[in-house]
């Protein structure tokens, strides 16, 4: 599964969980900012690697 698909799935789950009384997205954000987990850095690196691999549109049109 690509990194984009993983992010989309995770954001969908977080949006569904956000309906409840516990602010899961905020808590996850605090965790990422305070702890800086390795899985988050790897995910961001994978996202940027996929963006570098995709063909860029021709400029000048």
Q: For residue 60, what is the enclosing H or E element?
A: none
Contacts of 24 (CB under 8 A, 6+ apart): 14, 17, 18
Number of H-type helices and E-type strands within the chain: 3, 0
Q: What is the pLDDT of residues 9-18, one digit of tens each?
A: 999 998 888 8
Look at residue 18 in the predicted model and tell me its pLDDT: 85
Please tell me the predicted confidence (pLDDT) of residue 1: 83
- pTM for the model: 0.66
Token duo for residue 1: 């599964």
What Rg, from alpha-carbon coordinates, does the chain have?
Answer: 15
How far apart CA 5 and CA 12 sit, in angstroms, is 11
């Amino acid at each position: 599964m690509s990194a984009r698909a993983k992010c989309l799935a995770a954001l969908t789950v977080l949006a569904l969980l956000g309906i409840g009384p516990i602010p899961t997205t905020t808590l996850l954000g605090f965790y990422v900012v305070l702890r800086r987990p390795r899985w988050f850095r790897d995910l961001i690196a994978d996202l940027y690697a996929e963006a570098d691999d995709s063909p860029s549109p021709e400029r000048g049109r």
